[in-house]
Structures are given as C-alpha cells and as structure tokens.
Amino acid sequence: MKDVIVAKFGGSSLADSEQFKKVKNIIDSNGDRKFIIPSAPGKRHSKDHKITDLLYMCQQLSSHGLNFDEIFNIIQKRYEDICNELDLTIDISSILKEIKKEIQDGASKDFAASRGEYLNSIILSGYLNIDFIDATEIIVFNNKGELDMKATEINIDLKLKDIQRAVIPGFYGAMPDGKIKTFSRGGSDISGAIIAKGLNAKLYENWTDVSGFLMADPRIVKDPKPIEKITYKELRELSYMGAPVLHEEAIFPVRKAGIPINIKNTNHPEEPGTMIINDMDPITHCGTITGIAGKKDFTVISIEKTLMGAEKGFFRKLMSVLETNNVAIEHMPSSIDSISLIIANSELNSKLDKIIEEIRIYCNPDTIICYPNMALIAVVGRGMINTKGISAKIFTSLADGGVNIRMITQGSSELNIIVGIENADFEKAISAIYEAF
Ligand code: ADP
Ligand code: ASP
Ligand code: MG
C-alpha cells in the first residue's frame, strides 16, 4: 500500500510512560504510520530488567513448583505505573492476574514471554485510541514451527486491509493448534518486517534507542558515526556478525519486496537514522568501509595434511564428521595443505574431543590443533571491492593496536573481510579498526 508505514518500537522505546508519550508524538506526526508493532518494555537504565527476561524467569520458577510472586510483582508494577501515569482506564491489573494464573497453571515458556508484547500493545492501543489486533490472528506457523508466510499473508489481506490503523504485538504468532509461539530473542523486528511485507508498505520503520545503525557497537567505541545508507546485504553481514540493532531474520521479508527499512531513534526523531535499501540501488561508496561487527566465543580446529585437496573424498569425510555430530560451521578458510574449521562454542558444547578423535580416525591428518576462545570480527562494506589498501589498513591498525591476527578470510562477495583474533583482544581490535577508518 502506497501510503502505509509499518512502525516497530523496541523495548527501550516503550520502557515507561515518558517513552510512551514520545512514541505517541512520533505516530501522530505522520498519518501514514498506520500499523504499530510494539516490543515489551525494555530497560529504563543499565541496571534495569527487561520485562521479557522477567517473564521467562516467572515461567521457569513456576515450572519447578516455586513461588514467583516477587518477580511477577515487578512486572505488574511496571505496567500499572505506565497505565496510571498515562491516565488510562484499561483494567490492566485483571489481565495481569489472569496471566499470572496461566503461568501458575503451567503455561509454556513462549506463552509467558509473549505476554510482554501482548500487554504493552493493549496499553499502547488504548493510549493511541486505535484498534488492537492480536498477533495470533495474523502471524502463523506450520506444524514444524516455521513461519507460514502464505497463510500469514492471507490473514493480513483478510484482517488488516479494511482496518485504518492498528497496534499488533511483536515477537509471537500462533501454531496451527492456536498455541503461542515466539520468534527468537529480539524477534519483534521480524514481526514488523513480515507485516510490512504483507501490506506491501512503502516503508518499514524500526524505532530504537540509537540514531540508526552505527559504524561500530557504541558499547565498545565511543560515539561511533551513524551509517546514513546501507544495503540489505551489508546489513545482513553486520547483523549476522553480532550487531543487535535489527534481528538478522528481519531483513528477508522486506528485502524481497524492496521495502526500505529506516532505523530511527525514538529519543531523537529529528535525526535521519539509517536507511536500508535494495542492493541494486547505485550508491557511491568507494574506498571505505560501512561498518564493523563481531562475535566472541569460537573454536578453530586447524587441520593439516599434505595434498589434502588432491585426495578425493577428503572434504566429504571431514564434513560428514561434523554433520553426524550435528555441528554447523561458521567459516572454513583453506589453503593447499590445510583447512580451518571455525565453529561457535555454543554449537560444540562438549563434543569437541569426540569430533577431533573422529577426524583423526576418518581423515588421517598430519596434524590437528585447536584454538579455543577466538573472536571473529567482520569489516563490511560494498565500497571495498576494487579498492586497494583496505585490507592493509585493517591489518596495520590491528598490528599497531597490539592485536594478534589468527585468521583472515574474505567473503566471496567481496563485501567483507573477517579476521579471527583472541577473545581477550575483541574490544581493542574493534576500536583499532574503527579509528583507522
Ligand atoms: P530495541 O530494544 O529497540 O530492539 P536493541 O537493544 O535490540 O534495541 O538494539 C539497539 C542496541 O544495539 C543499541 O542500544 C546499541 O547498544 C546496540 N548496538 C550494538 N551494535 C550497534 C551498532 N553497530 N549500531 C547501533 N547500535 C548497536
Ligand atoms: N521482547 C522480546 C525480547 O526481549 C522481543 C523483542 O524485543 O523484539 O527478546
Ligand atoms: Mg531489538
């Protein structure tokens, strides 16, 4: 729809009544902001709790037969304060009472967590005086728990087409039997993207607490520069490599439909934020990088065997060891006589010794060495192609910063350079690269 903007507001954007007021001003200032997707209340300050975390805790305690009154009271007070401070007449206490009872009676983890967005959406719809439509009526999953985009699009067509404006909770949807299922953490971004796609919106706005996607994590680098424009592909690389601003799966639905995403700051709506646009759009961005992101806690298994490439079946055997152990590989840089498997520690759990033993038996390598506690940093930029000196600049900055590089790999898209370093050097390395550019 030509004149529809889908606007998702993150947890910190709706953390208390003051934030609700800012959100209302933003929505009222542009009549095209017709479909609003809220998250659950997030942190009001660094020592505060996210409502979603508290709900998970309640469910966990309850499932062990333990009392969760104390934690539920914190949740209850957050919502009641918001309603009272906004002078709303919604009887939120009764809804909370019912939710508490359902958690006591054995509600699922997903159900409990979803109530954060559910309650916040009821409050926001009351405050904005527009319709509330539950996400279970719109977003649906198949029996395998995968998003059923076809059925979801039919729901959007049927239930949203004739609606002027509505608030729809983020983060969850319904299974075929009606039970609640959530996306992974941060999943309200995905809900917004799906609804934007289904409505063929002209824009998907993602409102958060920073003025767009920044060149590096602001918790590591002081005042990093905002990225004005970025392609979906670059953003995907950065999100995947740990930048949490937008859930990595939120890109697919809108990208397919060519709907731009605008990351905006609820606390500074006058700032332009970041526009995420189609890969095809010609943007001149030669000679520099777009952003830096990274993740900690990987293990590198480095395998050497003379002429491994010439040995037919070598790589198949190696892969089958990982496949039969149900372990996914993050990266796999190789040379003539060696290959490194880079695997997230969370994938490996306690399987490392078994995997090494099986590689020894099955692939018969000359040597096999493990490096635990590795971090990966991705330097991403569409302007890196055909630009001499970018990698030199990265490596020099790391060397000057006293960071030891353990591995280097460049994506075949030439959109990124990935360096492997030790966990302990992570923050230092990101700062050093940022400074260099
Ligand atoms: P929301 O609750 O609005 O969904 P998130 O907490 O998911 O917000 O994401 C925003 C946060 O991401 C910021 O507060 C910031 O600390 C962090 N962050 C990490 N890397 C970046 C980056 N490259 N650009 C912007 N923010 C980043
Ligand atoms: N409230 C959920 C979470 O904390 C979803 C979201 O914020 O997008 O993960
Ligand atoms: Mg988020």
Instruction: Write the pLDDT tens digit of every residue in 361-391.
Output: 999 999 999 999 999 999 999 878 767 788 8
Residue 69 neighbours by CB under 8 Å, 6+ apart: none
C-beta contacts of 182-187 below 8 A and 24+ residues apart:
182/110, 182/113, 182/114, 183/247, 183/249, 184/247, 184/249, 185/52, 186/244, 186/247, 187/247, 187/249
Residue with tokens 């959406």: 121
Give Cα 304 to chain centroid, integer Å. Answer: 36
Under 8 Å between Cβ of 82 and 19: no
d(C-alpha 309, C-alpha 264), whole Å? 49
d(C-alpha 13, C-alpha 273), whole Å? 15
Instruction: Write the pLDDT tens digit of every residue in 156-209.
Output: 999 998 899 999 999 999 999 999 999 999 999 999 999 999 999 999 999 999
pTM of the predicted structure, to 2 decimals:
0.90
Ligand 2 centre distance from Cα of residue 182 (Å): 9
* Ligand 1 pocket by Cβ (under 6 Å): 10-13, 39, 42, 186, 208-210, 213-214, 216-219, 243-245, 291
Q: Is 50 in the pocket of ligand 2 (CB under 6 A)?
A: yes
Q: Measuring from atom 5 of ligand 2, which residue has the nearest CA?
A: 186
Q: Is 169 in the pocket of ligand 2 (CB under 6 A)?
A: no
| Model confidence at 413: pLDDT above 80 | no
When pLDDT is cut at 50, 70 and 90, the band that residue 77 belongs to is: very high
Lowest mean pLDDT among 5-19, 175-189, 303-317, 411-425: 411-425
Q: How far apart, in Å, are the Cα atoms of 90 and each of 87, 103, 239, 273, 403?
A: 9, 22, 38, 34, 56
Task: Write down the CATH number for the domain with range 291-436.
Answer: 3.30.2130.10
When pLDDT is cut at 50, 70 and 90, the band that residue 287 belongs to is: low
Query: What is the average pLDDT across 311-316?
Result: 92
Query: Which ligand sits nearest to residue 43's alpha carbon?
Result: 1
Query: What is the average pLDDT across 419-437?
Result: 95
Name the residue of 36, 52, 208 to mutate for ligand 2: max ligand atoms within 8 A of Cβ.
52
Query: Which ligand sits nearest to residue 209's alpha carbon?
Result: 1
d(C-alpha 70, C-alpha 326), whole Å? 40
Q: Measuring from atom 4 of ligand 1, which residue has the nearest CA?
A: 10
Instruction: Write the pLDDT tens digit of every residue in 318-363.
Output: 999 999 999 999 988 888 899 999 999 999 988 999 999 999 999 9
Query: What is the average pLDDT across 7-16?
Result: 98
Q: What are the structural domain ranges in the chain?
A: 5-277, 291-436
Ligand 1 centre distance from Cα of residue 236 (Å): 15
Query: Topology of 5-277 in CATH?
Result: Carbamate kinase (3.40.1160)
Instruction: Write the pLDDT tens digit of every residue in 98-144.
Output: 999 999 999 999 999 999 999 999 999 999 999 999 999 999 999 99
When pLDDT is cut at 50, 70 and 90, the band that residue 285 belongs to is: low
Ligand 3 centre distance from Cα of residue 11 (Å): 7
Ligand 1 centre distance from Cα of residue 213 (Å): 8
Q: Is 187 in the pocket of ligand 2 (CB under 6 A)?
A: yes
When pLDDT is cut at 50, 70 and 90, the band that residue 24 belongs to is: very high
Ligand 1 centre distance from Cα of residue 22 (Å): 19
Ligand 1 centre distance from Cα of residue 256 (Å): 24
Q: How many CB atoms lie within 10 A of CB 403?
A: 23
Ligand 2 centre distance from Cα of residue 159 (Å): 24
Alpha helices in 30-104 (DSSP H): 51-63, 69-85, 92-104
For residue 386, the model assigns a pLDDT of 67
Q: Which one, of 291, 264, 261, 290, lies nearest residue 276 by Cα?
A: 261
